[in-house]
Chains A and B, each alone.
Chain A
Amino acid sequence: MTVLELFWAFFKIGLFTFGGGYAMLPLIRQEVLAHGWMTAEEIIDFIAISESTPGPLAVNMATAVGMNTAGIAGAACATLGVVLPSFLVILIVSRFYVRFRRSRLMEGAMTGLRPAVIGLIGAALLTTGKDVFFANGFVLTPALVVSICIFVITAILAFRKTHPILLIALSAVIGIGAGYAL
Chain B
Amino acid sequence: MNTRMDLFLTFSRIGLFTFGGGYAMIPLIQREAVEHKHWISDEELLDVLAIAESTPGPIAINCATFIGRKVARFGGALCATLGVVLPSFVIIALLSFALQTFAQVRIVRYAFWGIRAGVLAMILKALWKMFKQCRKDWFAYSIMALALAASAFFGLSAVLIIAACAILGILYLQIGRAKP
* A residues apposed to B, CB below 8 Å: 12, 14-27, 30, 41, 44-45, 47-60, 63-64, 67-68, 72, 75-76, 79, 82-83, 85-87, 89-91, 93-94, 97-98, 100-101, 104-129, 132-133, 143, 146-148, 150-151, 154-155, 157-159, 164-165, 167-168, 170-176, 178-180
Contact = CB atoms under 8 A, between A and B. Distances in A.
Contacts of A118: 127, 130-131, 134, 144, 147
A98 B43 CA distance: 12
21 contacts: A16-B162, A18-B55, A18-B162, A20-B21, A27-B159, A55-B18, A59-B61, A64-B95, A79-B85, A82-B58, A90-B61, A108-B169, A108-B174, A112-B143, A112-B172, A115-B141, A118-B127, A120-B162, A122-B144, A150-B118, A167-B121
A120 B158 contact: yes
Name the residue in B55, B57, B139 with the highest tally of chain A Cβ atoms < 10 Å from its Cβ.
B57
Interface in B116-168: 116-128, 130-131, 134-135, 139-141, 143-152, 157-159, 161-163, 165-168
Label chain A's interface by main secondary structure.
Answer: helix
Interface in B51-97: 51-62, 65-66, 69-70, 74, 77, 81, 84-85, 87-89, 91-93, 95-97
Contacts of B118: 48, 150-151, 154, 167-168, 170-172
A94 B23 CA distance: 20
B119 to A, nearest CB: 5
B95 A49 contact: yes
Nearest to B106: A179
Nearest to A58: B58
B177 to A, nearest CB: 8
Given A49-B92, A76-B89, A111-B173, 11 more contacts: A48-B112, A54-B16, A59-B88, A93-B51, A108-B166, A114-B134, A123-B149, A150-B114, A170-B118, A171-B115, A171-B118
A105 B170 contact: yes
B55 A86 contact: yes
Interface residues on B, range: 35 or more
Contacts of B120: 44, 125, 128-129, 132, 151, 155
A90 B173 contact: no
Best-surrounded residue of B18, B70, B148 (most CB of chain A within 10 A): B148
B69 A16 contact: no
Interface string B13-36: 001111111110100000000000
